[in-house]
Amino acid sequence: MDVLTFGESMVVFSPNNNGPIRHVHTFTKSLGGAESNVATAIAKLNHSVGWFSKVSDDEFGRFVINAIKAEGVDTSRVVVDKNRNTGILFKERYQRSNPNVYYYRKDSAASSLSPEDLDEGYIKQTKILHLTGITPALSESCRKTVYRAIEIAKENNILVSFDPNIRLKLWPVEEAKKVLVDIACRADIVMPGLDEAEILLGLTDKDEVADYFLSKEAKIVAIKLGAEGCYIKDRKEGVKVHGYNVSDLIQDTAGAGDGFAAGFLAGYLEKLPLNEIGQYANGVGAMATLVQGDMEGYPYFDQLMEFIGKKQGIER
Amino acid sequence: MDVLTFGESMVVFSPNNNGPIRHVHTFTKSLGGAESNVATAIAKLNHSVGWFSKVSDDEFGRFVINAIKAEGVDTSRVVVDKNRNTGILFKERYQRSNPNVYYYRKDSAASSLSPEDLDEGYIKQTKILHLTGITPALSESCRKTVYRAIEIAKENNILVSFDPNIRLKLWPVEEAKKVLVDIACRADIVMPGLDEAEILLGLTDKDEVADYFLSKEAKIVAIKLGAEGCYIKDRKEGVKVHGYNVSDLIQDTAGAGDGFAAGFLAGYLEKLPLNEIGQYANGVGAMATLVQGDMEGYPYFDQLMEFIGKKQGIER
Amino acid sequence: MDVLTFGESMVVFSPNNNGPIRHVHTFTKSLGGAESNVATAIAKLNHSVGWFSKVSDDEFGRFVINAIKAEGVDTSRVVVDKNRNTGILFKERYQRSNPNVYYYRKDSAASSLSPEDLDEGYIKQTKILHLTGITPALSESCRKTVYRAIEIAKENNILVSFDPNIRLKLWPVEEAKKVLVDIACRADIVMPGLDEAEILLGLTDKDEVADYFLSKEAKIVAIKLGAEGCYIKDRKEGVKVHGYNVSDLIQDTAGAGDGFAAGFLAGYLEKLPLNEIGQYANGVGAMATLVQGDMEGYPYFDQLMEFIGKKQGIER
Amino acid sequence: MDVLTFGESMVVFSPNNNGPIRHVHTFTKSLGGAESNVATAIAKLNHSVGWFSKVSDDEFGRFVINAIKAEGVDTSRVVVDKNRNTGILFKERYQRSNPNVYYYRKDSAASSLSPEDLDEGYIKQTKILHLTGITPALSESCRKTVYRAIEIAKENNILVSFDPNIRLKLWPVEEAKKVLVDIACRADIVMPGLDEAEILLGLTDKDEVADYFLSKEAKIVAIKLGAEGCYIKDRKEGVKVHGYNVSDLIQDTAGAGDGFAAGFLAGYLEKLPLNEIGQYANGVGAMATLVQGDMEGYPYFDQLMEFIGKKQGIER
Amino acid sequence: MDVLTFGESMVVFSPNNNGPIRHVHTFTKSLGGAESNVATAIAKLNHSVGWFSKVSDDEFGRFVINAIKAEGVDTSRVVVDKNRNTGILFKERYQRSNPNVYYYRKDSAASSLSPEDLDEGYIKQTKILHLTGITPALSESCRKTVYRAIEIAKENNILVSFDPNIRLKLWPVEEAKKVLVDIACRADIVMPGLDEAEILLGLTDKDEVADYFLSKEAKIVAIKLGAEGCYIKDRKEGVKVHGYNVSDLIQDTAGAGDGFAAGFLAGYLEKLPLNEIGQYANGVGAMATLVQGDMEGYPYFDQLMEFIGKKQGIER
Amino acid sequence: MDVLTFGESMVVFSPNNNGPIRHVHTFTKSLGGAESNVATAIAKLNHSVGWFSKVSDDEFGRFVINAIKAEGVDTSRVVVDKNRNTGILFKERYQRSNPNVYYYRKDSAASSLSPEDLDEGYIKQTKILHLTGITPALSESCRKTVYRAIEIAKENNILVSFDPNIRLKLWPVEEAKKVLVDIACRADIVMPGLDEAEILLGLTDKDEVADYFLSKEAKIVAIKLGAEGCYIKDRKEGVKVHGYNVSDLIQDTAGAGDGFAAGFLAGYLEKLPLNEIGQYANGVGAMATLVQGDMEGYPYFDQLMEFIGKKQGIER
């Protein structure tokens, strides 16, 4: 397996109309979750990928598993919890701005993930273990699970990839900073946004951010710069890769960061030069925004190539 | 005010198609809650009525308040909780059977209701305080709130009305029995189903059930007999009132018991003879089943009169 | 009560697709009406407000009452007419332009409002009586009702607020001019658009317009300047208040003028300085346009403060 | 042309859910109107047919014309009224019962039809002029139009067909009786329901009813007996024709009577024996009830033959 | 792998309203296909199962693969055809009767399946190869593929299961008879309906039908008797297994026969006694009819056990 | 008849959401087809027009006929094919770009049109015969039908109008070029896009393109220049006519070219000066883009006049 990831996926209910959801009558069901977003995007790029979590023993749990399995992700290690709900969320949309979100995820099945739910033999088979900063924010046992998974990876020479995904709704900033910096410093691949880096490290210069993590365990750091693209630095070089200009076409920015991570990992697994890795990452991230829904917009490999081919823009 | 009631109301999401909800794409929002059902049904029958609860400080909380206020219920005492969600539920429908229900109500705003949320001056203004057995099942503080409300009512010569509404999903049967029998024995008006009476008291004879409560504090007992109607007994007489035969037309039985309670209280407030009170109760209960949705089918006074007039059936 | 208003509200049917409605298959029901728009917007800003009208004795009449009551407006004085329909309208939408409207309001219940429908005791309890120029255009009896209401207000030292709301579909321009100027000259608060002022008075200079009404009975005049904001003048000073730039985000301009009036009256009741009154008015008006629907976009007080806080712009 | 008919057609809005329409959010547009129902059903049975009315000069008017033209009916004589609306109606559905109807047709374009709108040359080209008792109930000018049309038909040896279609919502029973009996007595073909005949003539025996009209100008009388079928009598014989038993399959009885008339006229034009005419009439009427909507269920000729062939039942 | 099957799956478009689809405005997408129905139903009963076919290189092809994969079926051998469409079908529904079907499958990707598309190594891994009589009707190359697959199975001691699934729309009855009898005579497990057996063999006695196939290569024969259940016979005994009475609850009979086959194969794999195999088969078949859609109603193992437990009925 | 045209019309299924249609659940039915687009647009401009094709003997065939007939086009010569399907297509929409299209039209009824389907007497009655380059691409028999129709036109002094409508999905470019240039050289009216002219003739100068066809049989040539408008040249003069700037309002460009052709032919039939013909053509083309759907946006004559009047722009 090329990539393994785990974390909470939820059933998403999107309003069929804009405006305050008190006035919205019907909602459409879909799937959301940072790690499963990454997993499905990687699967579409033809890399083998597994995802697991804990879900309820009901139709919502089955919906989550099946929707992810449908995209070609291995879900064989998902744990079913007979006593807890699958988390859900409602979106409330206004024109062009980010949607409000109503979470019903407290004490969800996924937030009870614990180190015992980890299948060490399964983890050993992967090349990269991808983690996000959402999981450690969900519960104490989730945090321990993340740390235990890193431990297993380290013991088995598996690369750890980390996207901080700071969610200040889920925990206080001080606690988030402490934990996320600690995890990021153990990761081989770190992918913060520049704004996230500032929160975590107090640094605003992209080279300083990259160098900070490279001085720890990171082999490579990718800093997301929004519409401007990204800055990728390893121990040999730093490359700024221009983003694709889709500002007029954006439908929904949800899932863009996860698409970036997926594109990055796909390119990294293919041992591409940094600028091409950045194109993959920027491309998947940009394409994610063109379709409403968290994961519906991720491209197949051919679609990514066509998109990238049309709209190049690289500079060192 | 004629009637005051309180308890959890939730946002209901009904599937736009039958079958397992994994395969359902869209859901329609409506309102549910035993006590608010009773309140809106009473308001339509032209009695003044108040309802309160605790709701979230967001669109779901506002939806609950406004949907109940829209029907003419006083909602001025609803408490807004800035830290908790409003409970929600999803229905899963199969042909003609009762729907499955997926609850997201654990630790909801309403389940944090506590005696401090009671406005004693407000309670004093009502003639009847209506309670259900759902509220004491939600949490320890909810249970205390119910007991404190009964205390206030008793101190002020306000009648206490009680519908056991046994929900074994919410608490173990032994605990439910103990609490619900205890509350029922303090109530002036008791309205169990015959099946509920059997669970609570181990009695299957309707006169024995009625006499049990009449030997406590009850002034009147109404035993629901499903499609057969009801049996009403006070300290003077017992009357069996035939139900209305709507079996071919039933869309959704949700809300029928609450409609029964509303019809009963309306008739009782109007000091009607027992058989007419029973007709009101049976009529509102039957009409509730003719429309999909928990509270959409309750009749206005004229509609109830027309329905009852057409389809009489009383026997002592 | 802070504000009382009356006038026709209608059931609105909006097409679920753009284009000629011959080709539209489904329509969604909502609520419309200038005065009830103002009332619901004021209620959300935490001022007590009443609205009344005449509606049909059927589900459309009940929908109108309940939808307005739901928002916290007192509807206790609405008159039910057993012989007339509630007015309805259909919208036909093209991209970004104002929708076409198909009215079915001729001889509606509301157009039969007459001075006898006025509850003098009820009117006496309000601080401000808000009127629009739509009501006198509906029928002779409606016009008389407006004049009689002004009379009652004047006799009781209640402020009269007036928004001309010129609707040339409803009456000939000459008749409209005569009546509307006459009413405006009796009002304490006058809120015309600059384009309306030109039709009514032939004046295009905002100071001349304001001075005209201030020389009559007006204590304060607010002239709406569209995207540019507004000009407010009382007998001490004149203030130009910049509008909020939302042009890229506009979904539906319907209800913007009514939101302006609501924001103005809320600010006026709070005795704010003119520039802050203007911010309230501009803010509610701008926010109304961000959501499709006539009244769905009006903000709660906190939402208005957040919107205004972000996007200030005042100049004298 | 085989048949010509005229009368009001309306835009129908059907609720997408059952129950009180206050709680219904979306409505679907379709077409209704007794005479256009007859016309489209006849066209599907391969007879040439024309229909006219007066409609608004807007999308609703165009929808009415085009939906009827689509089915192959000649609409070249429809008059467009620049000053009036096309009538509309809303349905409110409960399980299995007839829907409630909310009309917005007062002072509609069609109700202003007048003798001047009749094209005498056009009427002369038809074999049968089909009229219903709805048109004379709409307005004085509509009534005059019906009488003038009969006059033209009589002068030109065109058969007059008449379906009483009593609508007591539209006029008082005494007035209806007087006008409808008068018209029926001038018609060559009379098609009352047995219940209608009782209202009109006070007769309950089908032979007495038929003989009454046959003693006037009628050449043939068809009495609708609901699920039991019909009784057809001309000056030579009387035939009872059994209905088709579709009671378990009924979706919507609207349009059944109009389908009966269409089937009857088609069979009559084909000079079939009475029992076969009755099968056509009963068949189209029964098939109309199998599909929701007023005119969507009418069969094509082959479909009618298949339906009739399967389920015969004739007796003299 | 327990079961392997192959054959055409299509995208199904179901009308959102009953009646002639000319008058239907919207359609909902789902999945159909006899063999994939069997496969998904088996997967839900916790047996490993694979399905393959040929699909288009577009979203419809991906939809088919992913929807089947989602249910836990191995789809790794599906072939993608860059030059052909995935077959689709539209349903047209009338009340309670079987829907009309409009096929667009001529020259579809699946109908170009050929022996070269068979992966012999993959087939060798299964215990049972399940085939239906639809595939040989699609094209000459499909027929050859079926025969080649049987050959491979026979060479490797894999059981061949066969459901005739006669579709006289796809080929002439004489040709169908010849081919299907020939295939059935090679199968180890034969599952015809009694009506199909009559077409194929001219036999109407269930024992004669079973004995015919048992005298060929069949080890076991299951004859479907509709609502009456089934008759199962192997070389030792014959058992009639009563069906479950769901006639009042039926939503859609599509997929019932495929559910029967799935239940049968699951029970057979678990080496249950014949009457229990029959209960599985009857149970899955009955449950399929309770939900609209071809495969949405198949039960999970626990759901099947609950359904069977409630409603037993076995007799020898 | 002013214009006669023929060619394939299809049932169009448009996704109710943007994005990959694997994730789209519901689709809405409408009508598409270049020649019927032209026909309905001409009918709305008050010119008599006929269209014919071959359709299936089912509801899809009837939908196509009736939808076109509804708009006032003569469809009396449409041929019904009992053995073939009506072509259909699905759209897949992304933000603002042209939709992807999935065709199911291979071997459709229309593609079997042959010279025998032509009614010579019918063709003789028209002034203009309008053809597109799609029909000859559908099949050999369609190509022969086009050539035979031209022959009949030429023999009867009927003008031949031709819009190349190059569809490289339907045939190879070399074959397309050969046939389309050949047809264009026989036409009296030629309406290529400038990009099409380059493919066909290798010419990029509008005068050279026009002169090429004018040197053959063309009396007038209209070259479409997209948003810039068009260039029209006859043997006397050449006129550039500015387009209407609707770029911000475009919903769907499908049908714009057909609208151009319709506007052109209407203006030409009215013998307007070239610049006014160009305004008609540009106007109808621009208005088509303002509404989603192929033919829903075409204007009625008054609407076109209003649109043109507002936004003039002509230059020689």
Give tens-digit pLDDT for D97-141: 567 899 999 999 999 999 999 999 999 999 999 999 999 999 999
Task: Please tell me the predicted confidence (pLDDT) of residue B316.
Answer: 29
Q: What integer pLDDT is reported at residue C311 of this predicted model?
A: 46
**Type and span of the H or E element at F293:** none
Q: CA D259 → CA D43, D296, D299, distances in Å?
A: 12, 11, 9
Quote the pLDDT of residue C96: 56
CA dist., res. B217 & res. B235, Å (int): 11
Interface chains of chain F (3 or more CB pairs under 8 Å):
A, B, C, D, E
The helix (run of H) or strand (run of E) holding residue E311 is none
Contact E1, E129 (CB under 8 A): no
Q: Which of F8, F9, F28 minimizes the C-alpha distance to F17?
A: F28
Q: Closest to C249 (Cβ–Cβ): which among A19, A23, A96?
A: A96
Q: Is the pLDDT of residue D273 over 50?
A: yes
In single-letter form, the type of residue at position C270 comes to E
Q: Residue F142's Cα: distance from chain center in Å?
A: 16
For D232-260, how does the pLDDT look when each residue is reduced to its tens digit (9 = 90+)? 999 999 999 999 988 878 888 889 999 99
- Residue indicated by tokens 């809300």: B255
Contact call for residues D178 and D184 (beta carbons, < 8 A) = no
Phi, psi angle pair for D118, to nearest 5°: -85, 130
Residue type, B78: V
Dist. CA C4–CA C73, nearest whole Å: 10
Mean pLDDT, residues D215-222 taken together: 98
> In the predicted model, is pLDDT for residue A314 greater than 50?
no
Q: What is the mean pLDDT of chain D?
A: 94
pLDDT computed for residue D85 by the predictor: 97
Chains touching chain E, criterion 3+ CB pairs below 8 Å:
A, B, C, D, F
pLDDT in tens, E150-179: 999 999 999 999 999 999 989 999 999 999
The stretch F255-264 carries a mean pLDDT of 97
B7 pLDDT band (50/70/90 cuts)? very high
- The residue whose two tokens read 């179901």 is E14
Indicate if the alpha-carbon torsion angle D234, D240, D242, D247 is positive or negative.
positive
Q: At what angle do helices F173-184 and F194-201 cross, to 10 degrees?
A: 100
Q: Per-residue pLDDT for A38 more than 50? A: yes
Could you say which DSSP state residue D306 is in? H
* F249 touches C: beta carbon within 8 Å: yes
Q: How far apart are CA F38 and CA F9, in angstroms?
A: 11
- Find, among B188, B268, B286, the residue nearest to B229 by Cα: B286
Q: Amino acid identity of F164?
A: P
**Gap between the Cα atoms of D245 and D283, Å rounded:** 10
pLDDT value at D224 more than 50: yes
Average pLDDT over residues B150-158: 98
pLDDT at B228: 93
Which residues of chain B have a CB within 8 Å of the CB of E250? 95
> What is the structure's pLDDT at A313?
38
Residue E310 confidence (pLDDT): 52
- What's the pLDDT score for residue A95? 65
pLDDT given at position F248? 78
β F100-104/F88-92 pair status = antiparallel
The helix or strand, by DSSP H or E, that contains position D44, with its residue range, turns out to be helix D34-44
Is pLDDT of A60 > 80?
yes
**Whole-angstrom distance, CA of residue F89 vs CA of residue A16:** 25
Taking the CA of residue B93 and the nearest CA in chain A, the distance in Å comes to 12
Pairwise CA distance, residues F255 & F245, whole Å: 17
Q: What is the DSSP letter of E287?
A: H
Task: Tell me how close the Cα of E16 comes to any Cα of chain B, in angstroms.
Answer: 10
d(CA D100, CA B303): 13
Q: What pLDDT, on the 0 to 100 scale, is given for residue E250?
A: 83
Closest CA to B197 of B214, B179, B180: B180
Helix (H) or strand (E) holding A30: strand A26-32
pLDDT, residue D111, reads 97
Any idea of the CA torsion for F60, F65, F70, F71, to the nearest 10 degrees? 110
Which residue is catalytic, options C188, C258, C294, C302? C258
Mean pLDDT taken over chain E? 94
pLDDT of F302 over the 50 cut: yes
Phi-psi label, residue C228: left if phi above 0, alpha if psi -120 to 50, beta otherwise: alpha
Q: Check pLDDT > 80 for residue B315.
A: no
Closest Cα of chain B to D114: distance in Å?
40
pLDDT for B42: 98
Q: Would residue C258 show up in a list of annotated catalytic residues for this protein?
A: yes
Is E40's pLDDT higher than 60? yes
Check if the beta carbon of residue F207 is closer than 8 Å to that of residue F238.
yes
Q: Within 10 A of F196 (CB to CB), how many other CB atoms are there? A: 21
Q: Say if CB A224 and CB A230 are below 8 A apart.
A: yes
Annotated domain spans of chain C: 3-307
Residues with Cβ within 8 Å of C121's Cβ and at least 6 positions away in sequence, in order, are: none
> Which tens digits make up the pLDDT trace of E100-129?
899 999 999 999 999 999 999 999 999 999
D5-20 mean pLDDT: 95
Please report the sign of the dihedral spanned by the C-alpha atoms of residue A255, residue A256, residue A258, residue A259: positive
Q: Residues F277, F264: contact at Cβ < 8 Å?
A: yes
Phi, psi of B51 (to 5 degrees): -140, 140
Contact list in A for residue F17 (CB cut-off 8 A) is 292
Predicted pLDDT at A179 = 98
Q: What is the mean pLDDT of residues F88-117?
A: 90
Checking if the pLDDT of F53 tops 60, the result is: yes
Burial F116-152 (b: 16+ CB within 10 A, else e): ebbeeebbeebbbbbbbbbbbbbbeebbebbbbbbeb
Please give the Cα distance from B12 to B101 (Å, whole number): 10
In chain B, which among 4-43 make CB contacts under 8 A with chain D?
28, 30
Rounded average pLDDT over D76-102: 89
Residue B112 has φ and ψ, to the nearest 5°, of -100, 5
Chain D residues 261-290 with CB within 8 Å of chain B: none
Which pLDDT value is given to residue B312?
Answer: 42
Phi then psi dihedrals of residue A110, to 5 deg: -65, -30
**Per residue of chain C (316 residues), what is the pLDDT tens digit?**
999 999 999 999 999 988 999 999 999 999 999 999 999 999 999 999 999 999 999 999 999 999 999 999 999 999 999 999 999 999 998 865 567 899 999 999 999 999 999 999 999 999 999 999 999 999 999 999 999 999 999 999 999 999 999 999 899 999 999 999 999 999 999 999 999 999 999 999 999 999 999 999 999 999 999 989 999 999 999 999 999 988 878 888 889 999 999 999 999 999 999 999 999 999 999 999 988 888 999 999 999 999 998 544 333 2
Per-residue confidence band for F98, with pLDDT thresholds at 50, 70 and 90: low
Is A17's CB within 8 Å of C248's CB? no
Residue D262: pLDDT band with limits 50, 70, 90? very high
d(CA B253, CA B262): 15
Using CA atoms, how far apart are residues C180 and C175, in angstroms rounded to an integer? 8
Structure tokens belonging to residue F68: 């076109």
H or E segment at E159?
strand E159-163
Segments in chain A forming alpha helices (H): 34-44, 59-70, 120-124, 135-138, 140-155, 173-184, 194-201, 206-214, 256-269, 274-288, 301-310
Instruction: Give pLDDT, residue B97.
Output: 58
All residues at 6 or more sequence positions from E108 whose CB lies less than 8 Å from its CB, including other chains? E8, E10, E84, E85, E86, E87
Which of the four pLDDT bands, split at 50, 70 and 90, describes residue D311?
Answer: very low
**From the list E66, E71, E72, which residue is nearest A71 (CB)?**
E66
- A66 in contact with E, Cβ within 8 Å: yes
Going by pLDDT thresholds of 50, 70 and 90, the confidence category of residue E312 is: very low
Position with higher pLDDT, B294 vs B54:
B54
Residue A22 CA to residue B30 CA, distance in Å, equals 10
Contact A10, A18 (CB under 8 A): no
Domain boundaries C3-307, CATH class: alpha beta
Q: What 3-state DSSP class applies to F6?
A: strand
Res D94: pLDDT: 80
> How much is the pTM?
0.93
pLDDT at E95: 66
**Are A253 and A301 in contact, with CB atoms under 8 Å apart?**
no
Question: Measured between alpha carbons, how far is B16 from F303 in angstroms, rounded to an integer?
Answer: 39
Query: How many other β-carbons are positioned within 10 Å of the β-carbon of residue C58?
Result: 19
Q: Residue D222's pLDDT is what?
A: 98
Q: What is the mean pLDDT of residues F122-138?
A: 98
Interchain contact C66–B (C-beta under 8 A): yes
Chain segment E187-235, per-residue pLDDT in tens? 999 999 999 999 999 999 999 999 999 999 999 999 999 989 999 999 9
Percentage with pLDDT > 90 across chain F: 89
Taking alpha carbons only, the member of F291, F284, F290, F288 closest to residue F305 is: F284
- Which residues of chain F neighbour A250 with C-beta distances below 8 Å? 95
Cβ–Cβ contact E297 with B under 8 A: yes
User: What pLDDT is attached to residue A250?
Assistant: 83
In which element (H, E) is residue A234 found? strand A229-234
Contact criterion met (CB below 8 Å) for F158 and F121: no
| Residues composing chain D | 316
The position carrying tokens 């409808």 is D180
Residue F313 has pLDDT above 50, yes or no: no
Q: Would you state the structure tokens that stand for residue F235, as one six-digit string?
A: 């043997």
Q: What is the phi/psi pair of residue E165, to 5°?
A: 45, 55
A192–chain D nearest CA distance, Å: 44
